[in-house]
């Protein structure tokens, strides 16, 4: 991903957001950072720049035209984010100025940074590991207090410490297995297989906790996605508006009002809920509405939980049952319009849906009224218990799909090695399985990496980070 020939270059990029602002910050990192800024700012040319000091200076281009008066902050090699000599230039926040400053820096010998290249350099200079590099992105993107707290723990290295300790324990097991094969591993005792099995079981249990924490981490990072589905006119759009406290979707008493997917989001007890309202599921000859129905089905598949809505004042209709069967996964059934007279009890409704065979797993039936402000609390509270977000702890959790996949793979390989030991398979087999498991763990922190890993970690980064 990042070409090795770039490593000796000094890179530059806008580190703050694009657009007009009070100030903008440009970052310069690499061996020539001080030299370049001293060429651009004549008043600094004779000075010895000191780390962590700020200098007010006029910045000029090669033609000696002053572009802006800027504030320059210097960071010595070893004392910066990247670990390299770094300069931060705070200029007036005009896109025209920042463009000209960057052009001038390139004229003076810098190259434009690629996405994530500053953090990549920080990783290469051992300023952070890959788990922390991923946390940098989560910190920037965090949208709630709980997401920020989780990301900061990861950035501090709390999750890395856990993986590090697992890696150490696995290395111990591997060394002792290898001692029974290879006599060159002198000084390491051959331990009883039962002791190894016990150690590996403990290791697996620890890894399992970390792997399973991904469901919490993912919710904290991305939120919970709910999809409203059901027949036309049952009140899906009214419920969306109620949930997101905004008139996002058009509500009328005409069946087939919503044609496209309408999205909204809201926060409840520190968790973000992304909610999609979909076109009512019905068979229709209307071309546009039909496309809407297809989109609804696709949307339902991408959600964490379907909120299946029906009009409880009419009772469950044949149409509801047919639509219900189109849905997959898990569903919370909302018996809407509960402000109107209704006769079916939740238990009867649940029975009817279960007797259907097919369709999603019904988690609960909730009588609600979209016209009632209290519906929001009732629904989101119930969803939080279903998704477990009510009981989220302050423990260190993982929130990256990459870490989850590798941690899961490492755990399964440890499980496999336990089976191999129990079945008295040769130490060579067990050692190989443990080596594969160790490799997966090493990829998590980046002790082992290749282009594919680097690409996966850094491709989502923005420019200047």
Ligand X SMILES: Nc1nc2c(ncn2[C@@H]2O[C@H](COP(=O)(O)OP(=O)(O)OP(=O)(O)O)[C@@H](O)[C@H]2O)c(=O)[nH]1
Using CB under 6 A as the criterion, which residues of the chain lie in contact with ligand X when the complex forms?
232-238, 251-253, 255-258, 279-280, 336-337, 339-340, 369-371
| Other beta carbons less than 10 A from residue 426's beta carbon | 11
- For residue 381, the minimal CB distance to ligand X (Å) is 18
Which residue lies nearer to ligand X by CB, 312 or 442? Answer: 312
Which residue lies nearer to ligand X by CB, 132 or 306? Answer: 306
- For residue 337, the minimal CB distance to ligand X (Å) is 4
> 104: closest CA among 73, 59, 72?
59
- What whole-number distance in Å separates Cα of residue 95 and Cα of residue 352? 62
Cα-flanking dihedrals φ and ψ of residue 355, to 5°? -65, -20
Which of ligand X, Mg ion, none is residue 91 near (CB under 5 to 8 Å by kind)?
A: none
- For residue 380, the minimal CB distance to ligand X (Å) is 16
Which residue lies nearer to ligand X by CB, 204 or 337? Answer: 337
- What whole-number distance in Å separates Cα of residue 343 and Cα of residue 385? 27
Which residue lies nearer to ligand X by CB, 276 or 369? Answer: 369
Which residue lies nearer to ligand X by CB, 131 or 370? Answer: 370
> 156: closest CA among 135, 182, 141?
135
- For residue 228, the minimal CB distance to Mg ion (Å) is 8
Residue 280's beta-bridge partner residues? Answer: none
DSSP states of 350-412 as a string?
HHHHHHH-SSPEEEEEEE--TTSTHHHHHHHHHHHHHHTGGG--SS-----HHHHHHHHHHHH
Which residue lies nearer to ligand X by CB, 105 or 234? Answer: 234
Which of Mg ion, ligand X, none is residue 225 near (CB under 5 to 8 Å by kind)?
A: none
State whether residue 413 is helix, strand or coil: helix
Angle (CA) 278-280-284 rounded to 5° is 125
Map tokens 């018996």 to a residue. Answer: 335
Using CB under 5 A as the criterion, which residues of the chain lie in contact with Mg ion when the complex forms?
237, 257-258
DSSP 281: -
Which residue lies nearer to ligand X by CB, 191 or 371? Answer: 371
- For residue 135, the minimal CB distance to ligand X (Å) is 40
- For residue 277, the minimal CB distance to ligand X (Å) is 6
Which of Mg ion, ligand X, none is residue 223 near (CB under 5 to 8 Å by kind)?
A: none
Residue 12's beta-bridge partner residues? Answer: 28, 112
* Strand order, beta sheet including 54-60: 54-60, 66-75, 86-93, 21-29, 11-14, 111-112
State whether residue 442 is helix, strand or coil: helix
Which of ligand X, Mg ion, none is residue 253 near (CB under 5 to 8 Å by kind)?
A: ligand X
- For residue 375, the minimal CB distance to ligand X (Å) is 8
- For residue 234, the minimal CB distance to Mg ion (Å) is 9
Which of ligand X, Mg ion, none is residue 339 near (CB under 5 to 8 Å by kind)?
A: ligand X
Which of ligand X, Mg ion, none is residue 319 near (CB under 5 to 8 Å by kind)?
A: none
> 98: closest CA among 6, 11, 17?
17
Which of Mg ion, ligand X, none is residue 233 near (CB under 5 to 8 Å by kind)?
A: ligand X
Which of Mg ion, ligand X, none is residue 33 near (CB under 5 to 8 Å by kind)?
A: none
Which residue lies nearer to ligand X by CB, 158 or 342? Answer: 342
């Amino acid at each position: 991903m990042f070409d090795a020939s770039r490593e000796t270059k000094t890179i530059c990029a806008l580190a703050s957001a694009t657009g007009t602002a009070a100030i903008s910050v440009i970052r310069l990192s690499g061996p020539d950072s001080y030299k370049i800024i001293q060429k651009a700012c004549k008043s600094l040319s004779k000075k010895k720049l000191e780390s962590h000091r700020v200098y007010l200076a006029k910045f000029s281009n090669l033609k000696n035209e002053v572009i802006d008066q800027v504030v320059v902050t210097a960071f010595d090699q070893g004392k910066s984010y990247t670990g390299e000599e770094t300069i931060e230039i705070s200029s007036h926040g005009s896109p025209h100025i920042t463009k000209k400053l960057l052009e001038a820096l390139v004229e003076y010998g810098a190259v434009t940074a690629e996405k994530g290249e500053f953090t990549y350099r920080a990783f290469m200079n051992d300023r952070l590991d890959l788990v922390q590099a991923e946390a940098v992105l989560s910190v920037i993107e965090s949208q709630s207090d709980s997401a920020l707290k989780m990301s900061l723990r990861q950035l501090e290295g709390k999750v890395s410490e856990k993986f590090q300790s697992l890696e150490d324990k696995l290395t111990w097991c591997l060394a002792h297995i290898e001692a029974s094969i290879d006599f060159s591993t002198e000084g390491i005792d051959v331990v009883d297989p039962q002791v190894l099995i016990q150690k590996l079981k403990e290791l697996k249990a620890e890894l399992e906790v970390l792997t399973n924490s991904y469901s919490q981490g993912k919710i904290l990072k991305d939120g919970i996605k709910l999809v409203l589905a059901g027949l036309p006119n049952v009140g899906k759009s009214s419920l969306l508006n109620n949930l997101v406290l905004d008139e996002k979707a058009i509500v009328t008493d005409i069946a087939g009002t919503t044609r496209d997917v309408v999205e909204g989001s809201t926060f409840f007890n520190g968790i973000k809920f992304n909610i999609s309202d979909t076109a009512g599921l019905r068979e229709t000859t209307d071309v546009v509405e039909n496309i809407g129905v297809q989109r609804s089905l696709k949307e339902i598949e991408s959600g964490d939980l379907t909120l299946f809505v029906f009009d409880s004042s009419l009772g469950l209709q044949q149409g509801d049952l047919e639509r219900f069967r189109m849905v997959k996964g898990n569903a919370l059934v909302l018996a809407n319009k509960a402000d109107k007279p209704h006769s079916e009890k939740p238990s009867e409704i649940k029975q009817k849906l279960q007797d259907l065979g097919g369709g999603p797993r019904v988690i609960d039936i909730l009588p609600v009224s979209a016209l009632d402000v209290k519906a929001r609390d009732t629904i989101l509270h119930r969803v939080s218990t279903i998704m477990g977000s009510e009981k989220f702890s302050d423990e260190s959790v993982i929130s990256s799909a990459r870490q989850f996949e590798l941690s899961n793979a490492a755990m399964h390989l440890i499980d496999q090695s336990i089976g191999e030991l129990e079945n008295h398979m040769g130490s060579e087999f067990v050692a190989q399985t443990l080596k594969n498991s160790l490799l997966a763990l090493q990829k998590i922190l980046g002790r082992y990496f290749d282009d594919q890993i680097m690409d996966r970690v850094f491709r989502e980064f923005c420019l200047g980070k």
